[in-house]
Amino acid sequence: MDKITLGTKKVSIEFPGVKALSDCDFEISTGMIHAVMGANGAGKSTLMKVLAGSNPGYTGDVLYNGNVVEVRTPAAAKKLGIQIVYQEVDMALIPSLSVAENVMFNETVMNMKGKLFMNYGKIRKDAREVLSRLNVNIDVRRPCSSLSLAEKQMVLIARALCAEPKLLVLDEPESNLDFRNQLIILETIRRLSREEGLCCIFNTHYPGHALRISDRALVLSREGTADFGEPSEVITREIMGRVFKVNVDIVDAQYDGMDYQAITAISLCNT
């Protein structure tokens, strides 16, 4: 995969009476994982939608390989190789269709113009192949209505991979999942980045997840601040206290030869 960089420079977006994102700067490159965190209303999902072309009213610049690009429509984002996986999995999937039909959605639904027949054998084969990239073994003939929430999330990631993206945007991918499935999603993101060279951006409510897998982190606040850098530089007691109004403890630890940091919320800040 060719090396790419994607970033923003002073990107802001306002809705009537609300400044949803203020002067946001960041940059990510091929093979890197970027975590976005912040309190509710700080602009995490807003930023994801800017990158996906779903928030055309932004000001500032989106930079692709150092050049300013216009990402005002989903089509423009896809042309740049950007695919997004939204957190509302049940709205993105068609429950009556099979796993294969949902994974290969563009082939089965979006690109049917002028076609009289669908090759279901090929559709199932292609769906199995892309799911295998995620180490997922699901009967692709099953209806999506029968899947667990974690399985549905994997189907949506597989659908995004069908477009062979250069950058994968994931909107709270581990939300509403149990402990084990959160780790499965995180390891999937890590593998796609390290083994396939994808740029991966995910927003999360879990600072520990950002510390676990991200190369860079962006912490947004409702007051309009944006702290960007290596996770250990921006996931600190001072910044967590300022943004989330909680006192945290951050410790260095090791397990099975792997060094990592763990973060625990201890108490609410008094101010």
Q: DSSP letters along 44-72, please?
A: HHHHHHHHTT--TT-EEEEEETTEEE---
Residue 202: strand, helix, or coil: strand
Q: Is the pTM of this model over 0.85?
A: yes
CA distance 82 to 51: 8
- Taking each helix axis from N to C terminus, what angle separates 149-161 and 179-196, rounded to the nearest 10 degrees? 10
Longest Cα separation, the chain: 66
Q: What pLDDT is stored for residue 111 in this prediction?
A: 61
CA distance 137 to 23: 43
Over the stretch 104-134, which tens digit does the pLDDT of each residue have? 998 776 666 666 677 889 999 999 999 999 9
Tokens 């609300």 identify what position? 18
Angle at 129 between CA 123 and CA 133, to 5 degrees: 140
Over the stretch 175-228, which tens digit does the pLDDT of each residue have? 889 999 999 999 999 999 999 999 999 999 999 999 999 999 999 999 888 999
Angle at 199 between CA 130 and CA 216, to 5 degrees: 140
Q: What pLDDT is stored for residue 110 in this prediction?
A: 61
Q: What pLDDT is stored for residue 115 in this prediction?
A: 65
Within 10 angstroms of residue 62's Cβ, the number of other Cβ atoms is 23
Q: Is the per-residue pLDDT at 236 higher than 90?
A: yes
Residue 252: strand, helix, or coil: strand
Q: Is the per-residue pLDDT at 230 higher than 80?
A: yes
Q: Which residue has the higher pLDDT, 116 or 138?
A: 138
